[in-house]
A and B are shown apart, each in its own frame.
Chain A
């Protein structure tokens, strides 16, 4: 019996699921050969409520999403957080810096009415999570690896070292040398430092490494004449939830 896999979306842009649909032909067909996709609203009409592995995209930002996630948790043998919104809260948590009423007022002005909206949070703030596919968008290569590991009954591994390690291997010039700020020194690797390779800098979408070396980050800032405040503005974009929690 092939394991039954379901995809569910909460508050998100659905880009992670889109990238699943865009796995290269062979990868997608291999995946379909190994598992049975029984629920994936964005792509198929079938909607079974019986599944083994549930992938969750998106963060939780409404009261009504909590019981829906709990129901999925009680059904799934394995629950996987897919992408930054589900894993660490992601950009949705930027609104948490305001009260919900302030945020509504900015968007709707005098039209602001009672919304079902609560400060955004990652899914592990609501239910236990078994595995994480990190990134914004989630790395589909990691998703395929994870499914393979789950099929073999192994525990999937994710790097516990920072993006800088991969960035050096990619042959990039350190963006601090270019006068920019970067979250790479404290961010969990696994992305191959794609944002720096693409001419930009790390925004920390994969979340913090297990034991971030904050002292070393401070030394880097001192070396380049920067203040923590300058980095925190960048850090907030994906990691507001972990920051606010502290």
Chain B
């Protein structure tokens, strides 16, 4: 009789808290669960009664890793509620700030959190001696991302200068010029990252699912567009609840979502599968080098899709800086008039689509808030992936099975502390 009993209490190298449980006897799975015991934070209750000018400041604190994503979704939800029109410069600065977070988060996840698994290291710290060049270039790219965010919004974690209707401070053109040069230099570092990922053996596992991401006819969408799916036509942001369909399941502590199938995926791979034709030249080349072709049904390839997106983000940042410098950066005053109404903001956080929806009264005070984070949309898909994966690897050692399961969870780059909708559910043992 063979028994497998795996209980990983708090998967490491992810943001937030999640547990993996597998009990199997004689090749039969008795229990297989991805659990999310994150502390409920009740942000939506905290936002009620706040003035619109403080709302994105508080919403940013939902997540320290994707604080620019939450800030942007929050600002855009408020702008949609008030019917605010944005200047061309505001849109460019917002996209550039957004790229800074995408760059930082993807470098952190691909090189510092996910790559150690492939290299047989327990974390990035031993990599500092075995692969010092990679660790140093990751720190250099992260610093570039931080400096880019600082130039636009004073700070990367919980940005300051981006506000409803525009910006409260404007970047110095000389600083942008210097950052442009560092962005051009970053290609060489990214080539080394591609070189590293080409040597890594990505587990051979596929499970076709529904892929959901923003889609914009004009560009590879991060902060604009409609909600697109691999299974249906794109729908406007105001229909987001028809896509997420949140529901409660007894075996999990988080609300799950589903759309056309039993689960769907939001991630860099969803974006790639839906929008890869709109990637920049260098990003397309990186995808080719890494053997990533749309559609790809291997969830472990989310990390590879993030590497591809790094090129797009750097290339588009250079392009945006050129546009800003050519046009000249103006001090544009912000002029916002609150009005009663409801608005939805949606962005592609590094780990997938994120929704904020607010209802305001005529004085610009929130009366109702709803946030649906990417990781909560992925829990259901992670569970379904595990159910497809584990029977295929049950003959391996417990250590190998654990690693494969942990790597799968890490591939989703989960950001569990965001958990705006965690539910306490009794688990029967």
A contact residues vs B (CB 8 Å cutoff): 9-19, 21-22, 24-25, 28-29, 32, 37, 41-47, 61-62, 65, 90-92, 94-95, 97-98, 102-104, 106-108, 111, 113-117, 136-137, 194-195, 197-200, 203, 233-234, 237
Contacts and interface: CB of A to CB of B under 8 A. Distances in A.
Contacts of A43: 12-13, 112-113, 123-124
A13 B61 contact: yes
Nearest to B424: A115
B259 to A, nearest CB: 20
Contacts of B112: 21, 43
B260 to A, nearest CB: 23
B158 A137 contact: yes
Query: What are the 9 tightest A-B residue pairs by CB atom distance, in nearest-first order?
Result: A15-B64, A199-B168, A198-B154, A198-B160, A44-B123, A199-B169, A103-B45, A94-B46, A13-B64
Interface of B: 10, 12-16, 39-42, 44-46, 48-51, 54, 57-58, 61-65, 67, 104, 108, 112-113, 116, 122-125, 128, 136, 139-140, 142-143, 146, 153-158, 160-161, 163, 167-169, 248, 417, 420-421, 423-425
B336 to A, nearest CB: 14
B136 A25 contact: yes
A94 B155 contact: no
A115 B40 contact: yes
26 contacts: A11-B41, A13-B61, A13-B63, A13-B65, A15-B63, A15-B65, A15-B157, A15-B158, A18-B157, A22-B142, A25-B139, A41-B10, A42-B12, A42-B15, A44-B13, A44-B122, A44-B125, A45-B116, A102-B45, A103-B46, A113-B425, A136-B61, A194-B160, A195-B154, A198-B160, A199-B167
A32 B112 CA distance: 15
A51 to B, nearest CB: 15
Given A13-B64, A199-B169, A114 B12 contact: no
Contacts of A136: 61, 158
B16 A14 contact: yes
A144 to B, nearest CB: 15
Contacts of A47: 12
Contacts of B167: 199
A12 B417 contact: yes
A40 B411 CA distance: 19
Contacts of A195: 154, 160
A202 to B, nearest CB: 11
A117 B40 contact: yes
What does DSSP make chain B's interface, helix, strand, loop or mixed? Answer: loop
Given A11-B41, A21-B112, A44 B58 contact: no
A118 B356 CA distance: 25
Nearest to B255: A111
Contacts of A21: 108, 112
Contacts of A22: 104, 142-143, 146, 156
B15 A14 contact: yes
Contacts, number: 169
B39 A11 contact: yes
B142 to A, nearest CB: 6
B391 to A, nearest CB: 26
A194 B157 CA distance: 13
Contacts of A91: 46, 58, 61
Nearest to A200: B160
B54 A234 contact: yes
Nearest to B371: A107
Nearest to B247: A111
A49 B417 CA distance: 23
Nearest to A91: B61
Contact of A111 (B13, B142, B248): B248
A11 B40 CA distance: 8
Contact of B46 (A13, A44, A45, A95): A95
A24 B64 contact: no
A37 B357 CA distance: 40
A210 B50 CA distance: 28
Nearest to A85: B61
A237 B57 contact: yes
A19 B41 contact: no
A11 B422 CA distance: 13
Given A13-B63, A13-B67, A237-B57, A199 B46 contact: no
A219 B68 CA distance: 36
Nearest to B132: A29
A41 to B, nearest CB: 5
Contacts of B158: 15, 136-137
A122 B263 CA distance: 38
Contacts of B128: 29, 32
B167 to A, nearest CB: 7
B14 to A, nearest CB: 8
A45 B122 contact: yes
A46 B126 CA distance: 11
A37 B13 CA distance: 14
Contacts of B153: 198
A114 B58 contact: no
Contacts of B142: 22
